[in-house]
Amino acid sequence: MQRSEKKTILTIRELPKRAKELLESIAGGKYQIQSLGRIEEAQYSSVGILLLDTALPDDRNILSEEYLRKFSSLKLIQSTRAGVDVLDFEKIPANVIICGNVGAYGDQIAEHVIGMILYFARNLGNSYTKLKQGIWEIPSNSLYLKGKDLLVLGTGGIGDSVARLAKCFGMKTLGTNTSGRPVPGFDQVFNTDKIDEALGIPEIIVIALPLTVKTFHLINREKLQKMKKDAILVNVARGYVIDEEALFRHLRENPEFRCALDVWWWYPKPGEKFTQKFPFFDLPNFLGTPHDSGIVPETEEIALVSAIENIGRFVRNEPLKGEMDRAEYVGLRALISEERKMS
């Protein structure tokens, strides 16, 4: 069989028909599309672009040293997920660009965030529990969102979507990013160097940052103490952005402080029971969901289209969305490994 001179876009699994047609259209005849189950060994050296789901171990296995040696022409790794913190950046060749799927999950996650905020702001959990017990009690500390301050740590795709929904409630939106430059949809943006100043202002704080060596345990005991005693904290980023023990102790010692998590430090393997190091679910000022904030029936198609469109930018030599600075990830796996050893 004669080998094609074209470069290859390799997908880890078969794409739905519409997604494959879109990818073929975007490739513009410059690339052939192959799935891992169909590609021949002789074609590995032609793989220029890799489309994978970084949340799945089987997909990440394709980035083993064995495969990376075979992908001698690889130039782009495009994830269908927003986060790429699970990748071993130290093994991936320096000339390979790595892109997360920035913005693909923003609107879905933002709706979940607002639901979590309302759960605490309007005392939905406590009111339901008491009413179920036959106790008719009108809460006196419900939070009227209009006019209140909401701070989003991270003004990227998720942060942007959260800010837009918060505006619908008449809230003032604050944000943090590495530059401190103004961002549409935010009334005020702080440089991350001024995060201590920002944390003391809002009634509600939402974490929407990528997990990097810089954001690992960004929210520690000192940062929590700078927040208002009755603040609402929502984390839809990564568990390790928060110091787990510091958060548990803060919640226990400050019953008016409330926290909602959709991301965790420990994830169960298939068939395992979900557990955490500290008994968060014993606390009345805590809410947790199983990392499903971005999952709705439309998500797979939205994510695939977004990732494929970014591949199109690469093919056309246009600026990419979600290109990761590998310097922010080198050493991250060691930090997480050390944390787990201590537990």
pLDDT of residue 28: 86
7-103+300-341 belongs to CATH 3.40.50.720: yes
**Judging by beta carbons within 10 Å of its beta carbon (0-12, 13-18, 19+), is residue 80 exposed, middle or buried?**
buried
Compute and round to an integer the Cα radius of gyration of the chain.
Answer: 22
Q: How many CB atoms lie within 10 A of CB 18?
A: 11
pLDDT of residue 343: 67
Distances, alpha carbon 254 to alpha carbons 54, 143, 228, 257, in Å: 37, 17, 10, 6
Name the CATH topology of 106-288: Rossmann fold (3.40.50)
SS3 272: coil
Cα 38 from Cα 35, distance rounded (Å):
5
Angle between helices 106-121 and 157-168 (to 10 degrees): 50
Angle between helices 124-132 and 106-121 (to 10 degrees): 50
pTM value?
0.94
Helix (H) or strand (E) holding 198: helix 195-199
DSSP for 44-96? GGGEEEEEE-TTSHHHHGGGSHHHHHH-TT--EEEESSS--TTS-TTTS-TT-
DSSP for 141-181? -----TT-EEEEE--SHHHHHHHHHHHHTT-EEEEEESS--
Where are the domains positioned within the chain? 7-103+300-341, 106-288
Amino acid at 52: L
pLDDT in tens, the chain (343 residues): 344 568 999 999 899 999 999 999 999 889 999 999 889 988 999 999 999 999 888 889 999 999 999 999 999 999 999 999 999 999 999 999 999 999 999 999 999 999 999 999 999 999 999 999 999 999 999 999 999 999 999 999 999 999 999 999 999 999 999 999 999 999 999 999 999 999 999 999 999 999 999 999 999 999 999 999 999 999 999 999 999 999 999 999 999 999 999 999 999 988 999 999 999 999 999 999 999 999 999 999 999 999 999 999 999 999 999 999 999 999 999 999 998 887 6
What ranges in 218-328 are assigned the alpha helix state H? 221-226, 244-253, 299-315
- The yes-or-no answer to whether 7-103+300-341 and 106-288 have a common fold is yes
